Structure 1
Amino acid sequence: MKRSSGARIGATLAVSALSLALITGCSDEGSDDAKESGSGSSAPAAKTYTAAELQKLILAKGDLDGYEVEKTLGAPETKDEVTTDDEKCRPLAFAMSAQAPGDAKAETTVTLTQEKKAPTDSASKSLEDLAEGEFEDTMADAMNVSVTMVGLSSYEGDGAAETFKSVSDAVKGCSGGFTVTADGEKQKLTKVTAEKGSGTGDESVAFASEGEMDEEMGKGTVHAEVVRHGNTIATYYTINLGALMTQKPYTIDGTVVTAQAKKIK
């Protein structure tokens, strides 16, 4: 990989959560069968929350050791800014761009980033002192953290159940991929693959999607999960740019999913 690629990816991480959402890929570890599961525990009360209530329920600073919690930046301001060439696939695009996947009464979102461990010896050198191989390794190591966008959205009536079904149906119906347009930029996703859900909440579905990053890096891998808790939908979208740079597999950040599920209960 050339140095320009590492710099470009670093800028993507710093500037736009939406850009991360459009750099997508699938995991070879997922089954071809859609996997949905419930926690088996008693369901939470089917309450429709206000935006203020959701902000108290979503993960916040101090809730999870080893993570920084920040406002999600760079996401579309309205759902009209995110379109797909196949309408049934649109809920998946929403789940990957910090938007409620359905017609929600209220919604909120945050981004959790793993705190980086102490740098390696090569990472402590100036970039000018690094050999080409060291530069690549240093860039990958610096970005080898999970960044997860978490969204909570609340629905009236059967809205949450219908929204969850639209996501589950899209995972199955959009397996051949689809094209997302956001901010005037198009991104072709070539495959959507069902993965094992966390089993939190009343029902959950996880998926990964495939798309080209650039000519040098080829395809990448990102993961998402959607969970229904009564009338509330939680969405999770995890990206690890270090893993993408080195073509190493990674998964949805289960630590974040578990912590958020506990806070909703």
Structure 2
Amino acid sequence: MKRSPGARLCATAAIGALSLSLLTACSDEGAKDSADSKASSSSSSAASSSSAPAAKALTTAELEKLLLAQGELKGYKSESGDDTLPASKTAVKTDKPACDPLAWATAALAPGDTDANASNTVSEDKASGATVQPEDFADAFDVDMTFVGLSSYEGDGAEKAMKAVSDGVTACAGGYGLTAEGETTKVTKVVAEKGAAKGDEAVTFAADVDMDGAGTATFHTEVVRKGNTVATFYTVNFAAMTKGGDMGAIPAAVVDAQVAKLK
């Protein structure tokens, strides 16, 4: 089902906290395994295996089949991101190249060097529970929407993509300027967060975004690698965006279900 023009407008504004002028209108650390097969460790990032055979990238069509489909996660609805998400990396840029992977991850684009990329949106299906009946504009947008991106890489490309994100969290700690869909905004701070161990490797970070001079909002992003596939997750609550503050955690159920589908 197609979103209403208002929903598409708000979703476009939400991506990486882009187009902040629309907000009013929308009123570890990766652990490493050494060559010694006896060594093992656990952290927020699962260890990657250096002995794995050379990986072959999945195609975009194959990635699309791995995205969460409607009906696969109870209490959530999955929809194409075609009318809400940027079509390519050329539409999302920062003023610091090292920060590009962070911006791409928030926009469900591949954080690494690959053309194999697929995305969708997974949102709370409040209507299915029949407990929430939106009565006004604000209530209609009081829903968490998670932008999900999948990308696949040849050889060690997935590991390099994860490193680019991890390095970006450090390099961009002081913030960066972001331009997307012709709109600009300012990320004022980036900090690493400890996420749950998922897949083979995970990087989680939070970014504070200037709300056009009206305080800041904190958005959370999780990037997970499983084999040579990288999944990105970024959650926005449209109603909360108008108030600032913390946008809330990425739903664990969405991450668990999506990572479980990856090969």
Normalization by structure 2: what TM-score? 0.78
CA separation of 1:88 and 1:40: change in aligned 2, threshold 3 A:
closer
Structure 2 stretches lacking a partner, 5+ long: 19-27, 31-43
Residue 243 (structure 1) aligns with = 240
**Correspondence for 1:94:** 104
Distance in 1 separating the partners of 2:245 and 2:186: 21
- Residue 40 of structure 2 is matched in structure 1 by none
- SS at the partner of 1:99? coil
Take 2:103 and 2:203, find their aligned partners in 1: how far apart are those partners?
15
1:68-124 alpha-carbon deviations (Å, 9 max, x no partner) = 111112322221221111000000010111211111141100101101254669x54
Which residue of structure 1 lines up, in the alignment, with residue 153 of structure 2?
A: 155
Tell me, yes or no, if the aligned pair for 1:190 and 1:211 is still in contact at 8 Å.
yes
Deviation at 1:198, TM superposition (A): 2.6
The residue correspondences of 1:49-198 to structure 2 (distance < 5 A) are 49-72=58-81, 73-116=83-126, 118=130, 124=135, 139=138, 141-198=139-196
Aligned with 1:38 (options 29, 36, 45): 45
Which structure dedicates a bigger proportion of its chain to helix? 1
Within 2, Cα distance between the matches of 1:35 and 1:56? Answer: 30
Does 1:223 pair with 2:233?
no
d(CA) in 1 for partners of 2:5 and 2:60?
A: 31
CA RMSD of aligned residues (A): 2.7
* Distance in 1 between residues matched to 2:152 and 2:67, nearest whole Å: 12
Aligned pair count reads 232
Tell me which of the two structures has the higher relative contact order, counting C-alpha pairs closer than 8 angstroms and 6 or more residues apart: 1
Three-state SS of the structure 1 residue aligned to 2:69 is coil
Distance 2:68 2:186 in 1: 32
Q: Distance in 1 between matches of 2:260 and 2:210?
A: 35
Supply the distance in 2 between the matched residues of 1:47 and 1:201 (Cα, whole angstroms): 18
Residue 144 of structure 1 and its aligned partner are, at CA, apart by 2.8
* CA deviation after TM superposition for structure 1 residue 208, in Å: 1.2
Cα distance in 2, alignment partners of residues 214 and 39 from structure 1: 38
Q: Kindly state the Cα deviation for residue 247 of structure 1 after the two structures are TM-superposed.
A: 4.7
Q: Distance in 2 between matches of 1:183 and 1:190?
A: 20
| C-alpha distance in structure 1 between counterparts of 2:105 and 2:158, whole Å | 14
Give yes or no for contact 1:50–1:106 (8 Å, CA) kept in 2.
Answer: yes
2:21 aligns with none
**SS, match of residue 160 in structure 1:** helix
Give the Cα–Cα distance (whole angstroms) in 2 for the partners of residues 102 and 12 of structure 1: 32
Is contact 1:12-1:19 (8 Å) kept? no
Question: 8 Å contact 1:47–1:230 — kept in the other structure?
Answer: no
Contact 1:171 1:207 in 2 (8 A): yes
- Aligned-pair identity (%): 45
Tell me if structure 2 keeps the 8 A contact 1:146–1:239. yes
Shift of 1:38: 3.1
